[in-house]
Chain A
Amino acid sequence: MSNAFQSPAGAARVVKKNRRGNIFMGGREDKPLKRLVIHLALVVAAIIAFFPIMRVFSVALRPSNSILSTDLSPIPAGATFSAFEHVLTETDLPLWLFNSLVITIGTSIVGLIIAATGAYAFSRFKFPGRGVGLTLLLATQLIPAAMLLVPLYILAVNFHLANSYVGMVIGLSVTSVPFSIWILKGYYDTVPIELEEAARIDGCSQLSAFYRVLLPLSTPALAIVFLFNFLAAWNDYFLARILLSKDTMWTWTLGLSRFQAQFQTQWNDLAASSIIIAVPVVLLFLYSSKWLVSGVTAGGVKG
């Protein structure tokens, strides 16, 4: 595989090149009937992908006297925004969102700093334990998540970190480090070492060559890792369930799942909360999805 795919700029270049068309890209070669079949297949796929989302919007708009209707129309009769108002003003949803946000931002920053420096050592130096270290980092990905929960709970209790932001930030950022190091190492490997050597000849120390030359060049990969950590922390449920028992500390994942258990029938509240939580994340995700993918492959694939 060429290096082009490993950087977003390269991917964009490849796309442009392909515009000339070939068997797979050339719309000209497709016969009208074939084109119709392709569009039909894609429309079906898009409907299946989109269906539950459409349902959430329609349930969220239901007035409270017809929550359990079996109406399947996208915009229900008597549509109203009262569920949105209700969850934002009369439930703890704003607090849960705030807790999630604090934990997520803390995690993303701490995880990124630890991984960026660690990956630099693995990419640019030969040192005893390097191969073993890389293998162990990979092996951590095989550990079933449930396996670490009991000892992590005991650690948190012993260090008085249960029911605190601190415990969640440390727990989530460290568990995301191995994956981040692999992604960043894969990206650093594609940056020519000559650039740093040139900087050192001009009088930079080893470490200032790292943060003046390599780090700025790796901005796309750093953004990917930040985003991965962000999404992992934002969507975490099980660590929160173990560490956060006080309801004032709950993250939205805990709040929403208890919410559903508690009010089994308040579907419009659940739907409205889901929309409030999901819309910013989905927009962020769609905006950055191209880089997300190049990041995954950069970690595992080389040359």
Chain B
Amino acid sequence: MSTAVIWNAIGQVGLTLVVIAVIVAVLEVGLYLLLVKTLKTKHAIPIMLVAPAALGLAVLIVWPLIWELRISFTNMSLKNFKDPQFVGFANYIAVFTEPVLKLTTFWQLLAQTIIWTVINVTCHVGFGMALALLLHRKMRGKGIYRALIILPWAIPQIIALLVWRTEFSFEYGSVNQMLGFFGISPIPWLSDPFWNFAAMIFVNVWLGIPFMMVLILGGLQSISPEFYEAAEIDGASSRQSFRAITMPLLRPVLTPAIILGTVWTFNNINVPFFMNPNELETSDILVTAVFRQAFQYNRYGDAAAFAFIIFLILLAFTVFYIQKTGSLKGAYE
């Protein structure tokens, strides 16, 4: 850490900004000449506005996807990185017929991922809803409760995970010590397959509740109190008004939150990766298995085919859910 380091960094980032500006300028001038002067189209402005984003996404997302698709039909690995051979659909078939890592099969990983996702999203929404309902009232200390409960979301995730990993350690972690007070013998949280999976889920539930709680709290605040007053006059119990007023009016907030939450949990690589220091395959979910296959076993071809299958599973889920709930309709108008 010295002034030379600082100047170098500022120079590099400044240069990046200049290079990006030049690329965008060239792109825009080219598009202007093409669309306005040559084609004379009325869609020139929106296309020119989208162009920088489209170029960036084409280079950094579309091209990598096409590359992955090509690689998924070859036997590329660290050994034959330079000259991989075409193997047809062999990798795709192997995902379903051979162990994906050393021992676990695709089906086991899929089952683990589904258990992981279902328990997590259910707990996030359930506890988030419960806490939001508790906080949505006049009471003393509301602000303090809210600030404390929101903390797991606010802490940088990697830090939260490293801290929980030490708290779950067998000998010195506070979790086992507290269990000791109740006369429960220490649990091998980080080395036993079942307990490691349980610890992973616990930590992710802990991390995910605040987001849902704040979201639902916002939704509750947008419901007009007149509805409840009218229901009260009609003699509705608070359970009835919850089911007839709160739930339907929360749906526009809950539906996208559940879709997003499911996708994020399904694709969550941080928690299963960091909470599993012994690399137990029983604690892997699909996305961490892809990461290990690619970067620890260097089986790039296999990993690419595997990743596409995961992507298709998520795509099917999302399309099904969006069609069924009819959310996002307004966004296309």
Contact = CB atoms under 8 A, between A and B. Distances in A.
A267 interface: yes
Interface stretch (A78-86, A123-131, A194-202, A213-221): A123-131
Nearest to A241: B295
B5 A95 contact: yes
A152 B68 CA distance: 10
Nearest to A70: B177
A288 to B, nearest CB: 10
B65 interface: yes
A145 B303 CA distance: 12
Contact of A95 (B1, B155, B303): B1
A302 interface: yes
Given A143-B65, A289-B150, A301 B53 contact: no
Contacts of A130: 46
Contacts of B141: 39
Given A49-B151, A122-B50, A169 B315 contact: no
A145 B134 CA distance: 36
A229 interface: no
Interface residues of A, number: 128
Interface in B135-177: 135-139, 141, 144-145, 147-160, 162-167, 172, 174, 177
A21, A45, A285: residue with the most chain B Cβ atoms closer than 10 Å: A45
A250 B276 CA distance: 23
Interface stretch (B103-111, B115-123, B193-201, B212-220): B212-220
Contacts of A35: 139
Interface in A1-47: 1-2, 4-5, 11, 14-15, 17-28, 30, 35, 38-39, 41-42, 45-46
Contact of A121 (B50, B249, B291): B50
Contacts of A289: 150, 153-154, 214
Nearest to A234: B156
A290 B10 CA distance: 33
A235 B156 contact: yes
Interface stretch (B83-91, B93-101, B252-260): B252-260
A127 B182 CA distance: 66
B150 A11 contact: no
A48 B206 contact: yes
Contacts of B260: 141, 296, 300
Contact of A286 (B54, B64, B147, B177): B147
Contacts of B330: 301-303
B138 A49 contact: no
A267 B64 CA distance: 39
B145 to A, nearest CB: 5
Given A52-B163, A142-B311, A270-B166, A110 B20 contact: yes
A152 B6 contact: no
A interface SS class? helix
B22 interface: no
A282 interface: yes
Interface in B39-54: 43, 45-47, 49-50, 52-54
B258 to A, nearest CB: 11
A185 to B, nearest CB: 8
B148 A49 contact: yes
Contacts of B136: 24-25
A125 B64 contact: no
Contact of B291 (A25, A92, A146): A146
Contact of B154 (A27, A173, A281): A281
Nearest to B155: A278
B278 interface: no
B52 A117 contact: yes
Nearest to A20: B225
B146 to A, nearest CB: 9
A75 interface: no
B148 A24 contact: no
Interface string B217-240: 011111011001101100000100
Nearest to A69: B172
B294 interface: yes
A182 B288 CA distance: 27
B6 A98 contact: yes
Contacts of B153: 285, 289
Interface in A230-277: 234-235, 237-238, 242, 248, 253, 256-257, 260, 267, 270-271, 274, 277
Contact of A22 (B49, B165, B228, B310): B228
A143 B304 CA distance: 12
B210 A237 contact: no
15 contacts: A26-B137, A38-B134, A39-B139, A49-B148, A102-B9, A121-B49, A144-B269, A152-B64, A170-B16, A182-B331, A237-B158, A286-B150, A301-B327, A302-B333, A303-B330
The 5 closest A-B pairs by CB, nearest first: A302-B330, A300-B256, A151-B64, A27-B138, A125-B46
